[in-house]
Structure 1
């Protein structure tokens, strides 16, 4: 029996969900194809789906919630490849992730909970100092996942991620799942609607007007699908994004585990070093979610006030040039190169192919094209860090993340729902945030921070001849409005949770 196909029509999907659980087809995990055990968000990213809704849930009755999980398990989208025919009819997707409190509420015993990393156990609000979440971005001001409100960290247990090719499809999917929540022992704490923005050529853009989602790492041994802009580096070890695999340190770190006595259905694989424990983390990952409100009007006012520092023959071109220097790319997505003061107009842009196979060390070491402290150069320094290009590439590879963000616009404002997938939150996402984005000392610069995303960035140096320019008075253009750290279980791990019997738990 094969796993249900998400290309079936909404009518057939609803009919399938009305069947009793024992008549439903169960997900079949093929050990030869690990993609069938990995949730789809990891490898697909759902770029063909322009609408989404994220339901923030609390587990009220664990036994009902486990039954609910058994019922929706066949509907969870995996990373398995689809044929071109299936892909053309692929309309909706569903994934789910849990906080540490959510795993506890579902019945995972303390012995198993203790095997999760410290940063995940503590949660995002407790890491505010590391992440630079202060003042307007402090956790007590968040819409969800913070230290106050109905959807605060301790209350938030589960994130149900619903995607569709159109808002209508997502609305229908959300309505259907909301009808099942109370019966499933779950309470909705809030929700977040989202929708992709596209430019005239069909490229994905964000509210500041830049192409988004261009530089994504390839995962060694897995095919994510056709990239419109291949990364300049070789494929990265899967252990950087999936638990249970070798990482860029040539190590397979310990991942979350559970006592073997709890695995009553024999769903999980034994640990090689401890046969009395089972691998709960394998094929899973950690998801970082951050609701980042973009202050577009302030950004435009800043460009207007500082346009005289810029290069260009019109005010609009000057503002475009200055915005590109802050971001580190032209709005089209093309890289900034020394000596180019206007975006390229050659054929590759017209064919929607963006050059992403570039480095900085050889042709732009001092930032005459892409400023050293600009946003994208901080987020992915590539080969530009001292002492050598080779070592810099190695370091950069060890701090990559998969970005699965999507834009939103609601009553509170507009911005980006930043979603990152990584196997080690502290070494990947938190390192990027603290050491590269927020750090005032980066790339030989002092007292300069990410000019787009951090509080108190202050200024940005723009190297030029004969005299460098310095952009002063950079304020906060992005405000943190909510988020959390979630575990994205494999299909095996979800199956295990769905049949967990807490009475057998070992504390």
Structure 2
């Protein structure tokens, strides 16, 4: 059995890497292609047979020496999916209340209102039909098709299981998403995962922040579903389909900038990074592609020397999503309690560079979040840091890119001698749907497959 050591302040805690689904802790290859699939279980016996078959294709173990090789499959279940499999009530009741309620029930609290409200979500997202979520990723199309064929064979011969939704996705060689910025840079490292920290200024997270069954940053164990075989080495997974209004974003920059150079700077101020991935905290005046493309440097920074946000505005998207040491003077807020694994994957074709009119194509980002605490990780960040400006001292402001903006919002850019305040921020991102899921460990998958109704 492969194990790695979780180096805590007390006795080392071994991470059972052979029981943790590979996608939870390992970096994705770059570039890659992938596909997300949702299935409905109409018959619990067929559903358990599906899980038995899928479990054979789910990888675990320590980080691959070459993340660009092969393909992998991640399997997760909604609360309704576990119920459809025949998981006993006492076990279902042991899951986090947010997971049991589901994302649709919590949409208003998350800021999914108006155009982003569940009544406008893409079917079947948000419905009780979403039972099993599969994520297949690969560095090349041939390997992806091979793993997808295995997944298809696992369910096509089972009349009690139906494929109800599929979304193809990809990452460009540049790593850039539809807004034109490189993504996926600021991931936290996790003790015992075997993956080095990308920011030497930050300690790795305790494993229990991401994987259930290990001490977290408080020194305690997160509440874990029962029985132990089902909960241990599992993680909660949040998936959201977000449509991006790229033309509207470009139009807004054009309308509020006097030159192309100023447009680029304004976009960087909104995001907190330049298109190449170079952080404003390190390169505040101009883009630095060499810095942005260097994984040893593009996440090696803090905000402590920029409290007032002259280099990177406090309200910029990247700084809101991970304030780093910005809040150290507030005492009551421990940023490390709200970190999580975040994966962004593009879908739909890119809007050609320079085009300012919407072409009608559905494009955007499939966002995946993984962690052991739905409420104090994903929900806290979404409601308190992205949709609210109180912690910044700007209660009327929201995240300029992904916040629940309605056309009346503002965004402050600190500068001398007079700060600049952008007005009438429109919604650049619209939620198309999503769900809370649970990805069990390998032994948990086998336990589900062996359930007897």
TM-score (norm 1): 0.80
The Cα of 1:230 is off from its aligned counterpart by 2.8
The Cα of 1:412 is off from its aligned counterpart by 5.4
1:461 aligns with 2:412: yes
Alignment of 1:77-226 (within 5 A): 77-83=59-65, 90-143=69-122, 149-184=123-158, 185-199=160-174, 204-224=175-195
1:334 aligns with 2:278: yes
- 1:304 and 1:58 mapped to 2: Cα distance? 45
The Cα of 1:352 is off from its aligned counterpart by 6.1
Q: Which residue of 2 aligns with 1:357?
A: 300
1:483 aligns with 2:425: no
The alignment yields a C-alpha RMSD, in angstroms, of 2.3
- 2:125 and 2:392 mapped to 1: Cα distance? 39
The Cα of 1:231 is off from its aligned counterpart by 5.7
1:284 aligns with 2:231: no
The Cα of 1:32 is off from its aligned counterpart by 6.8
1:434 aligns with 2:403: no
Ranges in structure 1 where 5+ consecutive residues have no aligned partner: 4-30, 144-148, 259-277, 309-314, 503-507
The Cα of 1:77 is off from its aligned counterpart by 1.4
CA displacement, residues 203-232 of structure 1 (integer Å, 9 cap, x when unaligned):
x111111111110111112213x56x4363
The Cα of 1:463 is off from its aligned counterpart by 1.1
The Cα of 1:81 is off from its aligned counterpart by 3.6
Q: Which residue of 2 aligns with 1:443?
A: 392
| CA pair 223-304 structure 1, distance change in 2 beyond 3 A | same
1:378 aligns with 2:320: yes
Q: Which residue of 2 aligns with 1:369?
A: 311
CA contact (8 A) 1:255 1:282 kept: yes
CA displacement, residues 216-271 of structure 1 (integer Å, 9 cap, x when unaligned):
111112213x56x436310111111010110111111330003xxxxxxxxxxxxx
1:421 aligns with 2:365: no
| CA pair 139-336 structure 1, distance change in 2 beyond 3 A | same
- 2:293 and 2:315 mapped to 1: Cα distance? 29
CA displacement, residues 440-466 of structure 1 (integer Å, 9 cap, x when unaligned):
323111311100012326111111111
TM-score (norm 2): 0.89
Q: Which residue of 2 aligns with 1:68?
A: 50
Aligned length: 430
Ranges in structure 2 where 5+ consecutive residues have no aligned partner: 3-12, 350-359
| CA pair 50-350 structure 1, distance change in 2 beyond 3 A | closer
| CA pair 373-196 structure 1, distance change in 2 beyond 3 A | same
Q: Which has the larger radius of gyration?
A: 1
- 2:445 and 2:334 mapped to 1: Cα distance? 33
The Cα of 1:33 is off from its aligned counterpart by 6.0
CA displacement, residues 110-152 of structure 1 (integer Å, 9 cap, x when unaligned):
1110000110000001111221001110011111xxxxx4454
Q: Which residue of 1 aligns with 2:244?
A: 294
CA contact (8 A) 1:153 1:484 kept: no
Q: Which residue of 2 aligns with 1:235?
A: 204
CA displacement, residues 377-402 of structure 1 (integer Å, 9 cap, x when unaligned):
111111112635xx47x711000010
Q: Which residue of 1 aligns with 2:223?
A: 254
| CA pair 348-449 structure 1, distance change in 2 beyond 3 A | closer
| CA pair 349-423 structure 1, distance change in 2 beyond 3 A | closer
